[in-house]
Structure 1
Amino acid sequence: MQETFTNKPNVDELINLFNQLFFERYNTVLIKGEEEPIYLPADNTSPHNRIVFAHGFFASALHEISHWCVAGAKRRELVDFGYWYKPDGRTAEEQREFEKVEVRPQAYEWILSVAAGHRFHFSADNLSSEIGASDHFQENVLKMVHGLLDHDLPERVGMLVEALRIHNNREPLSKNEFKL
């Protein structure tokens, strides 16, 4: 039996677990970064795809993993999956666009967070504009979580949830654990 997480989820344990699950099959590694997060496909500097999360933060690792889980095979060949990103300081309209594309990744992140025993926080990723995650966005994420739990999780999310659940000696996830 694997050792459980310590009092708070340990990012090094998460890195090891992720890399054990996905290195061989997807040629992808999770890396603790010092700067902003980024996804880097294999290139002439590294033979491996790299999910680099910010500042060693557990939540950042789960968030970046979630984006990787959303991305299809073609997107995983592109830096940052080829997604549009507008940095902090978005307008209200730009924030609405951000929220449209963040529902699925944040639903995955919430599910992974619960499986890991880590507290989930909605991310508006727009601190300087003081525009937080809208109620509508939070409701949409919750609906997606409940829908995902009613059906089989996508393969990569399901693999990691199961590994985290076993690693933490916990029961299968329940919709009752996800409330606003």
Structure 2
Amino acid sequence: MNHSPNELIMLFNDLFRESHRTILVRGGDEPEYRPADGDNGLAQIVFAHGYYASALHEISHWCIAGEYRRTLHDYGYWYCPDGRTPEQQRAFEQVEIKPQALEWLFSIAAGTRFHISVDNLSGDGAANEQAFRLGVRVQASHYLTHGLPHRAGLLLDALKTFYGTTDTHATNWHRDAERIAPSTSAKNSSRKTETV
């Protein structure tokens, strides 16, 4: 299934343009969040290069940001670019668990393949990729069990309806969970198979 970012722009803007004065915008090299300028302005979630996955990721950050953070450029966070030190990478991974968990659930709803990202190609890679993957899986499972943040829940429902995945979302997520972060029992079973 081909996914056009225009579909996502339409869905997002229909949901949040009026209620949250926020729109999704196709951008260039770097994603960013631009708060509304003035009472009549619109906040903009700018995603990189027109990539569908980039849009889902940037939306995920917006869904987590509180009301005050949404008044600040890039939610007031300083982004440490690729090439982070191990300490910076650990901090990055801690902050990325929740947005990547939402992005994953959105991807399943849209019928696209989710790719976990440690975003440190010029550095030493992940501080602990296995722990990061597991953290994202645990958080996504928590969202499914206890509910998503309000705006994220609205978008998830819209994606499932638009792409026809309402009935398959839970099954597809459980299947994909083993690809992203295999459970301990699955790892042990595969090790036993490899040694036989």
| Inter-partner Cα distance in structure 2 for 1:83 and 1:125 | 16
- Corresponding position of 2:87: 93
Alpha-carbon distance, 1:8 to partner:
2.0
SS of 1:30's partner is strand
- Corresponding position of 2:140: 145
Query: What is the letter of the counterpart of residue 89 of structure 1?
Result: G
Query: What is the letter of the counterpart of residue 49 of structure 1?
Result: A
Q: Residues 57-113 of structure 1: CA distance to partner in whole angstroms, max 9, x if unpaired?
A: 111100100000010000000000001210111011110110011110110111111
| Inter-partner Cα distance in structure 2 for 1:168 and 1:109 | 16
SS of 1:121's partner is coil
Alpha-carbon distance, 1:130 to partner:
4.5
| Inter-partner Cα distance in structure 2 for 1:10 and 1:108 | 19
Please list every run of 5 or more consecutive structure 2 residues that lacks an aligned counterpart in the other structure. 182-196
SS of 1:39's partner is strand
Alpha-carbon distance, 1:171 to partner:
2.6
TM-score by length of 2: 0.84
Matched, 1:25 2:23: no
Matched, 1:103 2:97: yes
| Inter-partner Cα distance in structure 2 for 1:169 and 1:122 | 24
- Corresponding position of 1:168: 163
Query: What is the letter of the counterpart of residue 157 of structure 1?
Result: A
Query: What is the letter of the counterpart of residue 138 of structure 2?
Result: K
Q: Residues 13-38 of structure 1: CA distance to partner in whole angstroms, max 9, x if unpaired?
A: 01000000010100000000012000
Q: Would you identify which runs of 4 or more consecutive aligned residues in structure 1 move more than 6 Å?
A: none
| Inter-partner Cα distance in structure 1 for 2:89 and 2:83 | 9
Aligned length: 173
| Inter-partner Cα distance in structure 1 for 2:116 and 2:124 | 14
- Corresponding position of 1:120: 114
Sequence identity, in percent?
Answer: 49
TM-score by length of 1: 0.91
- Corresponding position of 1:64: 58
Matched, 1:34 2:38: no
- Corresponding position of 2:190: none
Matched, 1:49 2:43: yes
SS of 1:129's partner is coil
| Inter-partner Cα distance in structure 2 for 1:86 and 1:164 | 31
SS of 2:158's partner is helix
